[in-house]
Amino acid sequence: MSKKIARERRLGIMGGTFDPIHYGHLVAAEGARYSFNLEKVFFIPAGNPPHKPGHIVCEPSIRYKMTCLAVASNPFFCSSPMEVERPGPSFTIDTVRTMMHLHPEKRIYFITGADAILEIFSWKDSDILLSMCNFVAATRPGYCLKELNEKLDSFPNSFKQNISYMEVPALAISSTDIRQRVREGKPIKYLLPETVEDYILRNNLYR
Ligand code: NAP
């Protein structure tokens, strides 16, 4: 009698400030979807990031709107206003818990920048979080993998096995650079989807 092996079903959460979202984020999400067999990737912009009070340039609702525009053409991507609508600081543990509640049969993969993952032990309830879901740390070209590996080596094994990293050449694009380009009147075409570019220019963002 043939035995059917149940395959783990997986969902991705793409976490970030997305100020603004750009092709680097989209390429990273698509790479993670392919590499980790994710059924869908939910882009969830941070509403009120606890680690950088006063540093966000754009309102959460505007960053969410740009995220919706950016993911509209990919049937495997969607965006969620969960963090934008939740009052108080945006803690990842709350987001992961909500997603696990909404999708109890799925394993969650949280994808974000490697620099953010390096600081994970400063996040709220990080030890619980690290045991609840998997993390994918996306790195930019030239990123010092030594630092990431050393940091990961210092994590307990039970946590380490839930963290992977992924090199993403398209992450040469950065939100900081895009904001600066807009401020200086330089072109941002081909760095982010046209719909997002139009939205930025029409609404005079980052001037
Ligand atoms: P950040 O410090 O703004 O970003 C760190 C680096 O990672 C930047 O170079 C950034 O590039 C890149 N990055 C950010 N999101 C990315 C993504 N999804 N894919 C690839 N690269 C990405 O980090 P952040 O955006 O504020 O936070 C990242 C995630 O961690 C968010 O979901 C945030 O809520 C979560 N977080 C949670 C806690 C907590 O629960 N206490 C604390 C800190 C962070 P760009 O600027 O080009 O995006």
Instruction: Tell me the per-residue pLDDT of 108-136, one tens digit each, with 9 for 90 and over.
Output: 999 999 999 989 999 999 999 999 999 99
For the chain, give the percent of residues with pLDDT over 90: 80
Angstrom distance (rounded) from CA 109 to CA 70: 20
Residue 23: the pLDDT is 98
**Residues 150-164: what's their mean pLDDT?**
87
Question: What CATH number has the domain bearing residue 148?
Answer: 3.40.50.620
Ligand 1 pocket (Cβ < 6 Å) reads: 14-17, 24-25, 28, 46, 49-51, 90-92, 111-113, 115-116, 123-124, 138, 171, 174-176
Torsion of CA 64, 70, 74, 79, to 10 degrees: -10
Residue 203 belongs to some domain of the structure: no
Residue 173 belongs to some domain of the structure: yes
Angstrom distance (rounded) from CA 137 to CA 111: 6
- Does the pLDDT at position 193 exceed 60? yes
Residue 3 belongs to some domain of the structure: no
Residue 145 belongs to some domain of the structure: yes
**Strand, coil or helix: 111:** strand
Q: State the pTM of this model.
A: 0.95
Residue 124 belongs to some domain of the structure: yes
Tokens for 153, please give them.
Answer: 């080596």
Residue 121 belongs to some domain of the structure: yes
Distance in Å, CA 113 to ligand 1 centroid: 5
What confidence tens digit (pLDDT) does each residue in 36-92 have?
A: 999 999 999 999 887 776 676 799 999 999 999 999 999 999 999 999 999 999 999
- Does the pLDDT at position 178 exceed 80? yes
Q: Identify the band that residue 1 occupies on the pLDDT scale cut at 50, 70 and 90.
A: very low
Distance in Å, CA 1 to ligand 1 centroid: 48
**Residues 201-206: what's their mean pLDDT?**
97
Number of domains in the chain: 1
Cis-peptide into 89, omega within 30 deg: no
Instruction: Using most ligand atoms within 8 A of CB, pick from 14, 17, 22, 135 the residue to mutate for ligand 1.
Output: 17
**Strand, coil or helix: 92:** helix
Angstrom distance (rounded) from CA 52 to CA 30: 27
Of the candidates 89, 64, 62, which has an alpha carbon nearest to the alpha carbon of residue 79?
A: 64
Residue 49: the pLDDT is 81
Residue 65: the pLDDT is 98
Residue 206 belongs to some domain of the structure: no
Q: Are 41 and 137 in contact (CB under 8 A)?
A: no
Burial class for 21, CB neighbours closer than 10 Å (0-12, 13-18, 19+): buried
Domain span at residue 106 reads 10-197
Q: Identify the residue with better confidence: 71 or 156.
A: 71
How many degrees, rounded to 5, is the angle at CA 9 between CA 6 and CA 15?
160
Residue 202 belongs to some domain of the structure: no
Residue 53: the pLDDT is 66
